[in-house]
Each structure stands twice: as C-alpha cells, then as structure tokens.
C-alpha cells in the first residue's frame, strides 16, 4: 500500500531524489566510493557544494550582497548565533513570539542580548499571527518565525520596518516567493522542506557582519564559514547532496512560483473540507492558516482514535497533532502530491 506521509519532519522527499540519493550512497558516479566516503575537499563534493549554492541563489533570487552558508546544529543553533553575530550592547532588538520556536529563539538570545518582545499570540495558544504592533524605529533587527509547524500559522505579510528582518524559515522556505531585500538573515533547518536533517541553510547580508564589540568564537562566527565556503570543518556531505537534489527537483517543477501554486491548491483542498465537514474544526485564524502545516480537531474528541484508525487503513501516516494543540496535523511540504491530500479528504468525507 502506498504511504501518504503527513509527518511534520523529517521532510517528505520526491521519489527521484530518494532514488538518486540511494545510488550515491552506494557508489557515487562510478567512483567506487559511497558519497559518504568521498573527501569534502575533493572535486566531487566541491561541485556539489557549488551547485547547491547556485540553486539557492537562483530559486530565491539571492544577490552577491548575501552569503549562502551550509552549517550544522539545526535552526536551534541559529537562535543564539544570529544574535551573537549581529547584536552589540546597547542595541535594541525586537522579537515576535508566535510559537514554540520563536519562544526558544527569545530565550537563547536573551542570555546575552536585551530582547524586546514586541508582540505575542500566546494569549490564544499561538493560533494567530499578531498584527498592528508598534515597531521602534531604532531597532537593530526584527526577528520573526515565518511558519509555525506546531500551531499551523504562517506570516502572510512582512512587517513594515527599515530594520533588517531576521527570519526562521525552517518549515516553509522554497514554498513561496520572498521579498528578499527585506531580510538581513534567513535561516532554515533542512529537514522540514529542503532535505535531510544535518544541514542548516543560512542566507546572510554580508554588510551586517563584523560589527560586534565582543569576541565571537571561531565556529560561531559567520565570517569563518564565508571565508572557508562552508567547509571550515567537515560539512554534512550527504545532507548537502540531498539538498542539491531536492532544489534541482524544485527547479524542474518550475521553481518557487510553481511550488507556491502547488501548495496553495493542496491547502485549499484540505481547508475547504475542514470548513465544510461538520465533524471537524480548524484551530487557526483563517487569515493566518499555514499551507505547510494544517492543524484541525474533531469536535467530538472521543472519536479521535477511530479517525486515526481510518487514516492508517488508507495508508496515511503522521497525522496525529502535536500535544500542544491536540487533534490532527497534516504537513504538506513541497514534495507532497495533491493526490495524497485528496486521500486524506476522502477519509474525512467517509468518516462523516
């Protein structure tokens, strides 16, 4: 039976990517070596690294003013690295708290930076994106989380500010077009919508760096990794390769604009069923609904187990909601075909 993978992470991958990755894991391009064995200084991997950067720049229209880095440590390491590299004592930096990951970003940066939480949706269990909050004119930067995997919200309109926006885009990068000039730094763990766990994408405006008054440890300094082309130490070779394959696939499908159209169609199909099926209810303000992570409940939660059983019988996996919200969560990243969304909608209709 075909499986329909609605897990929030690791990411669902296209079939062509999994096939190419499995072949490279055994023998990379006839070298007689697994890609996991080749030197990260050798021509084979340097070509992979260069191509991956080239695809990032092409898909997101990244100019030479920005560095593209492939680091380790996940988005969680960026919670403190961003502040460590950009903040100076007496600077004012603003954060918007829209869920678990932004809360953690605030906690980590607050260890050494004076953080001002400009807005929060915690009052309604992070079921909406705050609007209309005041943004100080003298902010060094504004930190946002673009998409909230646990709660199912997504930022649709970017804040109007002259300060550079620092943004955690782990779960929706490459899913829609971006006004890149508004951002000073973007970071994303690959395992949600890009590739395999183990690599973290960072896109940073170079002119923002090198202005801190304190010593930045070598491994935490973005300039270290820019100077060494993301290879100061051994990078996650195989994870970067899968990222390259995945970005090639996005380009073949028509790029980010095509992904946005594809994702909008999947989201409409599922949200329409949630809104029209009397057994179900969404958990998020309609204007802030994420197309990546759809969260919903059965109005009668005593039927949750029965619904999960029906999903399992249809080959649906990963549909159970996070404990912070309960109910169900359908994660529909770029690689998910609309046919899988249709299977879930059919189960919901039959359950009614």
Instruction: Give the C-alpha separation, 134 to 268, whole Å.
Output: 32
Q: Which residues does the annotation mark as catalytic?
A: 101, 168, 192
Helix ranges restricted to H, the chain: 15-26, 43-60, 74-86, 100-109, 222-227, 237-253, 255-276, 304-313, 338-351
Instruction: Give the C-alpha separation, 146 to 156, whole Å.
Output: 8
Q: Label residue 93 exposed, middle or buried (CB < 10 Å: 0-12, 13-18, 19+).
A: buried
| Dihedral angle sign, alpha carbons of residues 180, 186, 190, 192 | negative
Per-residue DSSP letter, 210: S
HEC readout, 220-284 = HCHHHHHHCCCCCCCCCHHHHHHHHHHHHHHHHHCHHHHHHHHHHHHHHHHHHHHHHCCCEEECC
| Beta-sheet pairing, 66-71 with 200-205 | antiparallel
- Edge to edge, the sheet with strand 280-282 lists 280-282, 293-298, 328-331
Instruction: Give the C-alpha separation, 190 to 246, whole Å.
Output: 10
Instruction: Give the C-alpha separation, 336 to 120, whole Å.
Output: 31
Quick check: bond before 10 cis, omega within 30? yes
Instruction: Give the C-alpha separation, 32 to 226, whole Å.
Output: 31
Whether 87 and 113 have beta carbons less than 8 Å apart is answered as: yes
Smallest Cα–Cα separation from 274: which of 225, 335, 204, 321? 321
Residue matched to tokens 């994408």: 201
């Amino acid at each position: 039976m075909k499986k329909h993978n609605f897990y929030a992470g690791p990411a669902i991958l296209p079939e062509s990517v999994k096939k190419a990755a499995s072949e490279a894991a055994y023998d990379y391009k006839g070298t007689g070596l697994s890609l996991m064995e080749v030197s990260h200084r050798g021509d084979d991997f340097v070509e992979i690294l260069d191509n991956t950067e080239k695809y990032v720049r092409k898909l997101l229209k990244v100019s030479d003013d920005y560095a593209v880095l492939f680091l380790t440590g996940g988005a969680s390491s960026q919670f403190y690295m961003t502040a460590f590299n950009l903040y100076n004592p007496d600077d004012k930096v603003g954060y918007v708290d829209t869920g678990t990951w932004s809360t953690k970003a605030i906690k980590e940066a607050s260890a050494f930076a004076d953080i001002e939480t400009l807005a929060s949706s915690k009052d309604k269990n992070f079921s909406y994106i705050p609007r209309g909050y005041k943004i100080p004119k003298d902010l060094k930067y504004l930190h946002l989380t673009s998409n909230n995997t646990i709660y199912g919200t997504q930022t649709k309109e970017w804040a109007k500010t002259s300060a550079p926006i620092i943004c955690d885009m782990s779960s929706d990068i490459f899913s829609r077009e971006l006004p890149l000039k508004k951002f000073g730094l973007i970071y994303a763990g690959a395992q949600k919508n890009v590739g395999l766990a183990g690599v973290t994408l960072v896109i940073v405006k170079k002119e923002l760096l090198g202005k801190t008054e304190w010593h930045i440890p070598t491994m935490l300094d973005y300039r270290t990794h820019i100077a060494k082309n993301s290879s100061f130490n051994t990078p996650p070779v195989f994870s970067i390769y899968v990222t390259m394959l995945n970005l090639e696939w996005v380009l073949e499908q028509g790029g980010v604009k095509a992904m946005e159209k594809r994702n909008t169609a999947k989201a409409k199909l599922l949200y329409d069923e949630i809104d029209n099926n009397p057994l179900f209810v969404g958990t998020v303000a309609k204007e802030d609904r994420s197309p990546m992570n759809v969260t919903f409940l059965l109005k009668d939660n005593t039927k949750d187990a029965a619904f999960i059983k029906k999903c399992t019988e249809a080959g649906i996996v990963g549909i159970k909601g996070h404990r912070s919200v309960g109910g169900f969560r359908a994660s529909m990243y770029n690689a998910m075909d609309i046919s899988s969304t249709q299977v879930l909608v059919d189960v919901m209709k039959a359950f009614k």
